[in-house]
Chains A and B, each alone.
Chain A
Amino acid sequence: NAGVTQTPKFQVLKTGQSMTLQCAQDMNHNSMYWYRQDPGMGLRLIYYSASEGTTDKGEVPNGYNVSRLNKREFSLRLESAAPSQTSVYFCASSPRTGVEQYFGPGTRLTVT
């Protein structure tokens, strides 16, 4: 089992460009999450999907959109990237909400 996979691993964007971060899990989990991690701060939840067909905002949703494509895949889209979105992005999944989450390897995004 690969667990949680994320693509790409690294990305550099210019201000105003758009991109989509991809996440997939092969653990048959119902819930999926997107976090960002910045130096000196804890992981912050951007959006989550409690189950296929549902999505909800987390702590820092502004500037992002998500799509739960199917049970396995959960993508994060930046429509118009800003330097403040420079961060490391992690996708996670869990069997259901409220239990342990399993994280992917992360995407390091730089916006210039």
Chain B
Amino acid sequence: EDQVTQSPEALRLQEGESSSLNCSYTVSGLRGLFWYRQDPGKGPEFLFTLYSAGEEKEKERLKATLTKKESFLHITAPKPEDSATYLCAPRSGAGSYQLTFGKGTKLSVIP
């Protein structure tokens, strides 16, 4: 059974204080790992797709990286507008199109 664990559950940062969010996964033959941002009361917004270990993607203050067991979302010098819940979702290669979503990390950036 595919499993995804995101940590920490919640993270409070001061504006400008860099940190990382973790996504640990156990899936059969990873066929991609997706990162989303979700603001309260809204649908998830797509951020990145990573396909192979060692791959990195960047967007503004966010950088996502992938290893064979984990993915990290690094946030550099965050701003209050980066406050949101960040979701990761690996896709198994075991003949399924389904994504397995983690419960998310709720990030709060304090001015």
State the interface size on chain B (CB cutoff 8 A). Answer: 23
Q: Are B46 and A100 in contact (CB under 8 A)?
A: yes
Chain B contact residues: helix, strand, loop or mixed: loop
Among listed A12-20, A37-45, A75-83, interface-contacting one:
A37-45
State the interface size on chain A (CB cutoff 8 A). Answer: 24
A105 to B45, CA, bound (A): 10
Over the window 86-111 of chain B, the binary record of Cβ atoms lying under 8 Å from chain A Cβ atoms (1 yes, 0 no) is 01010100000111111110000000
Known contacts A31-B97, A58-B98, A105-B43, then 9 further A-B pairs from the complex at CB < 8 Å, ordered by chain A residue: A48-B98, A90-B44, A100-B46, A100-B49, A103-B45, A103-B46, A104-B43, A105-B42, A106-B43
- Which positions in A face B, CB cutoff 8 Å? 4, 31, 40-45, 48, 50, 58-59, 90, 92, 97-106
- Which positions in B face A, CB cutoff 8 Å? 4, 31-32, 34, 36, 41-46, 49, 87, 89, 91, 97-104
